Amino acid sequence: MSGGAAQPSEQRAARVRAFELIRDVQAGAPTALDDLEALAADARRRGWSDVARAGLFGRAVHAWYSKSPGARDAVGELGERSAAENDPVMLALGLAMRADTGVSGDAPSGAGTRAEDLARAVVLLEHAGPESDAVLERTSAHTACGNTLYSRSLFELCDEQYDAALALGAAEPAHSVDFLLAPIVFNRAEVQVAWAAMLVQLDEREAAAERWRAWEQLTAAVERFEIPDTWRVELDSLGLVLAAIASIDPHLHPQLYDLALHLAATIEAGAGASAGLRYGRRQLDEHWAARLASLASMRARVEAERLSSEREVLSRHARMDDLTGIGSRRALEQYLADLERDDVESVALILLDVDAFKVVNDRYGHLAGDAVLVGIGRVLERGIRPCDLAVRLGGDEFAVVKSGADIDVACERATAFLRRIDEARFDSGDARLAVALSAGVAAGPPARIRELRAAADAALYRAKAGGGERVVRSRLARPGA
């Protein structure tokens, strides 16, 4: 995840630099992509996964802007890495980009999948936590959703995403994220022009005038940003176009009105103006109706994704240990059932127990004991792969299940857990608690989980009897032996 605990200042600076370079990639700066790739490579060496994912985002942006056939692969890699590393915000960003026809292609057969990707991205961002460290990623993800909704002419939903992105930036220190916010204001200006153009053609003059009022607010807001001169020229040009289409009046501006009629007559020459106008109006009506239907469909998809996500959250909480936030016994049962269903041949079970935990509770109190259990849960969760599971079985007993692992690998992992807990220091008021674990390890097929549990229990008992703070393995007897 990009949010959470405070990061070292050097890592935070690298994240900011990565997103500044992504901005430069969008602007076509000649060395920006090379600089970003170098930064991402250094981040991978240092273990800064959030900076590395930003590098993937920049590569996908470059591929998209350059119309490269590799855009789909670049966006796919961003999504896969974000999912594997449990980063829902960057996953949402990848889904929003994948939903854009510029990446996925505009084949009608893929329209449903693109809409599902976009709805899922919107809901993922709604569930993203308010961690301040994720502002860069969340702002970029909301912007990507807005851009893709704009490409579908879903202006209302597009505005909601841009609003969310700007609200994030407004909560940050002055000017700290202006390099991300300025393009959003520019994008919103484009939206007003496109929206008004369709409304004027439908003779919805008052609605078009509302877009003009929104434009005036945007141009007032953009004054606080430092943007390139070329952007200001384009904004001014868009403003003139919007003012013309929103307020042109044949009595106040007869020359402009006559010019518009002249251009229309030139285009329709020889085709029969009356029939052409009727045909054009019918096409506009049908296009607007299709847009409204698409808007309603997307709202329904987003709401369905919300309901699905809420059910998943409720289900996940039912399988979560209330104190530590890791899995519970119910999560373990479901996980093992899934492994058996997927024909996983072998799992390794690590049972862990706190040495002399009663002494911690008796001497320092149950709040200190709870803090120890929470800390152990955090160490276990951070020390497993996405395909593994860490659970609290109850009291001070924990379990880790490693899919597809043999007993040697599991023993190495258990030893690493014990070392990390030994190195950790748990606070209890003025005291610093040293905590130790014992572990019992067994490996075998998921279908024999009861035997695995008994074998690991026996190994854990031997570890305790031997003085604790050690790992003991137990070989599972072969069937019929």
Show which residues are catalytic.
396
Query: Taking the CB of residue 333, how many other CB atoms lie within 10 A of it?
Result: 14
SS3 142: helix
Residues 6 or more apart whose CB falls under 8 angstroms from that of 327 comprise 319, 320, 321, 335, 389, 390, 391, 392
CA distance linking residue 348 with residue 350, whole number of Å: 7
Tokens for 256, please give them. 């402009």
Does residue 410 contact residue 441 with C-beta atoms inside 8 Å? yes
> How many angstroms from the chain centroid is the CA of residue 117?
12
- The distance in angstroms from the start CA to the end CA of the chain is 47
Angstrom distance (rounded) from CA 230 to CA 407: 63
The residue written with tokens 């119309």 in the block is: 67
DSSP 320: B
Cβ(16)–Cβ(2) below 8 Å:
no
Q: Which of 93, 187, 109 is nearest to 142 (CA)?
A: 93
Backbone phi, then psi, for 136, in 5-degree steps? -60, -45
Instruction: Name the CA radius of gyration of the chain, rounded.
Output: 29
Token digits for 458? 């026996």
Residue type, 425: R
**Does residue 208 contact residue 194 with C-beta atoms inside 8 Å?**
no
